[in-house]
Chains A and B, each alone.
Chain A
Amino acid sequence: MIEVKDLYKSFSGESVLDDISVSFEKGKTNLIIGRSGSGKTVLMKCIVGLHEADKGSVFFDGRDFLKMNFKERQNLRREIGMLFQGSALFDSLTVEENVMFPLNMFSDMTPGDKTDRVNFCLKRVNLENENALYPGELSGGMKKRVAIARAIVQNPKYLFCDEPNSGLDPITALLIDDLISEITKEFDITTIVNTHDMNSVMEIGEKVVFIHEGRKCWEGTKEDILNSEDVNLNDFVFASNFAKKIKAMTTDEIRDPENY
């Protein structure tokens, strides 16, 4: 479980996160949703210390992360897998070397064991026989899958995914979402996913947190989301005409349709 308490962050006087408190549960796919620029990435990076929060605390299963020194943070980060928006694969390394990188750096496994572990993870993301390719030779969806394999190679307790399906076609996006959700269950990980994609929300969202202009406006389950009263959340969820029509068909009282 990851708990965030009273988190604030600003960039040169401009407030980006304003008093965020939220908890993310173990073995579940927790979603942070919100429009572009609402602060999802900044929140995720503050939680793992890639941005230094101005105020507030973050607990990884009770351990106060932001109070830790450099060395302690490094150690805790080895329990975290992270999937970046652009995949962030190392350009100069092959698929296999990318996934093996954390093992080479930190484990005392034999070369044979490392190769087995890498192939297991690549197989888990349905990538076989692509070991010798370089990131430049992969499609967007393949890059994401390699990045997921790399994120889980050290058996993380926590998995962070920043917009895992941005830039992918709807079918590939769905595959990536399902993969993340399955891995979360299978290895009992605390997973946090940033997204602005309502398809993902309905597909994998077990706990959903809605951020608007740096504030937490709403949290709940994907079942509650359609009935929420929050104005900003409604605007976000029913942004497309298609969704508006569905909503109009399924609810009797609709909030001032003229505004849509």
Chain B
Amino acid sequence: MRFLSVFGRYVIFMSRVFSRPEKARIYLKQTILEMESLGFNSVGIVIIISIFIGAVITLQTRYNLENPLLPLYIIGLTARDTMLLEFSSTMVGLILAGKVGSNIASEIGHMRITEQIDALEMMGVNSASYLVLPKIIATMVFNPFLTAISMSVGLFGGWMACIITGALPSADYLYGIQYYFIPFYIVYALIKTVFYAFIITSVSAFQGYNVKGGALEVGRASTRGVVFSSILILMTDVILTQLMLA
């Protein structure tokens, strides 16, 4: 019952977010600013994490596939498909849920408790739309780039691991990551990323927008934003995988 009522309020909130903007030009400007603060500022963390995960996936595969019958390039191939299919979209999605989700929930929650949202409403601005729509568009447009960056950097990280540790000849790795390449995997990952961006932004914004009370509640809302969007990302992952790859 409680779930239904929260879901109902979420739907009403989203219908306000997607109502027609007062001034398109201002929304466009906001969207560009949000791309910088929510998207561009996450490039660093995505690169760092992807390099290490690319490396560790390659090493793990190498040490756990101790079978002389399997050709060595299989390791590069496995690392590539893991990055492309799951890591660069879903893991990066979870990390962004933590970084971007908590940022959005606490920013909007702070605006709620300091009456800035009331101030917007009193000016006749649709506060839900003004605050949230630019963030949703910005992340849905920008996050696929983050995923693409993660894919290439991750594969590079795997290659570096081969060179530095000598666990696998560089040539085998490079052959493996090009072997039997399916371009649709990239499309599949980018589509998932767009869904995840929508989930992270809308769920965290909804949590922040409905804060009542003080700083403590803002903290709680930000935690809830991260937890709920993470769970929803994994549920969506299962559904989309079944729909697109089955």
In the complex, how many angstroms separate the beta carbon of A10 from the nearest chain B beta carbon? 16
* A154 neighbours in B (Cβ, 8 Å): 123
Bitwise interface map of B from 104 to 129 toward A, beta carbon under 8 Å scored 1, else 0: 00000010001110110111111000
Closest A residue to B118 by CB, please name it. A50
Is there an interface contact between A77 and B124, defined as CB atoms closer than 8 Å? yes
Assess whether B124 is in contact with A74, with CB atoms less than 8 Å apart. Answer: yes
Tell me whether A78 and B123 are in contact (CB under 8 A). Answer: yes
CA distance A50 to B119 in the complex (A): 10
By a CB distance below 8 angstroms, the chain B residues around A82 are 118-119, 122
B2 in contact (CB, < 8 A): no
Q: Flag whether B26 is at the interface (Cβ < 8 A).
A: yes
Note all chain A residues with C-beta closer than 8 A to B26.
104-105
Stretch in contact with the other chain, from A84-92, A126-134, A223-231, A235-243:
A84-92
Size category of the B interface is: 10 to 19
CA gap between A85 and B121 in the complex, in Å: 16
Roughly how many angstroms separate A20 CA and B138 CA in the complex, as a whole number? 46
Whether a CB of chain B sits under 8 angstroms from the CB of A260 is: no
Asked whether A77 and B123 contact (CB < 8 A) given A104-B23, A105-B22, A106-B22, the answer is yes
Knowing A104-B23, A105-B26, A106-B22, say if A86 contacts B124 (CB, 8 Å): no
> Do B122 and A105 touch across chains, with their CB atoms under 8 A apart?
no
Is the beta-carbon distance between B126 and A74 smaller than 8 angstroms? yes
Chain A contacts for B110, CB-based, 8 A: 91
Q: Cβ of A85: which chain B residues have Cβ within 8 Å of it?
A: 115
Q: Which of B22, B115, B125, B126 contacts A88 (CB 8 A)?
A: B115
**A78 partner residues in chain B, CB cutoff 8 A:** 123-124
Least CB distance from B109 to A in Å reads 13
- For B23, the chain A residues whose CB sits under 8 A away are 104-106
User: Known: A104-B23, A105-B23, A106-B22. Is A84-B118 also a contact (CB below 8 A)?
Assistant: yes
Interface centre among B23, B26, B122, B126 (most CB of A within 10 A): B122
Report yes or no: B123 in contact with A88, Cβ–Cβ below 8 A. Answer: no
Are B119 and A84 within 8 A (Cβ)? Answer: yes
Q: Within 8 Å of chain B (Cβ to Cβ): is A27?
A: no
For A86, the chain B residues whose CB sits under 8 A away are 114-115
The answer to the question of A75 belonging to the interface, with a C-beta cut-off of 8 Å to chain B, is yes
How far is B115's CA from A213's CA once the two chains are assembled, in angstroms?
A: 24
Quote the shortest CB–CB distance from B202 to chain A (angstroms): 20
Q: Is A140 an interface residue (CB 8 A)?
A: no
Distance A149 CA – B40 CA, assembled complex (angstroms): 35
Best-surrounded residue of B22, B23, B114 (most CB of chain A within 10 A): B114
Distance (whole angstroms) from the CB of B180 to the closest CB of chain A: 49
Q: Taking the nearest CB of chain B, how far is it from the CB of A23, in angstroms?
A: 21
User: A211 within 8 Å of B by Cβ?
Assistant: no
Give the chain B neighbours of A122 by CB distance below 8 A: none
State whether the Cβ of A101 lies closer than 8 Å to any Cβ in chain B: yes
Interfacial residues of chain B within 72-126, with CB under 8 A of chain A in the complex: 110, 114-116, 118-119, 121-126
Q: A74-B126, A104-B23, A105-B26 are in contact. Are A88 and B121 (CB under 8 A)?
A: no
CB atoms of A75 and B124 under 8 A apart: yes
150-177 of chain B: CB within 8 A of chain A: none
Please state if A80 and B115 are interface contacts (CB–CB under 8 Å): no
Of B26, B116, B123, B126, which is in contact with the most chain A CB atoms at under 10 Å from its CB? B123
B124/A88 in contact, CB under 8 A = no
The one of B115, B116, B122, B125 that contacts A48, using a Cβ cutoff of 8 Å:
B122
- Determine whether A56 belongs to the interface, using a CB cutoff of 8 Å to chain B: no
B119 surroundings in chain A (CB, below 8 A): 82, 84, 88, 90
Give the most central of B22, B121, B124: most A CB within 10 Å.
B124
Tell me, rounded to whole Å, the shortest Cβ–Cβ distance linking B80 to chain A. 42
Render B123-142 as a binary contact track against A, CB cut-off 8 A, 1 for contact: 11110000000000000000
Bound Cα distance A80, B119 (Å): 11
The smallest beta-carbon distance between B135 and chain A, in angstroms, is: 13
In contact, B123 and A105 (Cβ under 8 angstroms): yes
Interchain residue pairs with CB less than 8 A apart (10): A75-B124, A77-B121, A82-B122, A86-B114, A88-B116, A90-B116, A91-B110, A102-B123, A105-B23, A105-B123
Residues of B within 8 A of A (CB): 22-23, 26, 110, 114-116, 118-119, 121-126
- Other A-B pairs beyond A78-B124, A102-B123, A106-B123, 12, CB < 8 Å: A45-B118, A74-B124, A77-B121, A77-B122, A77-B123, A77-B124, A82-B118, A82-B122, A85-B115, A88-B114, A88-B116, A104-B26
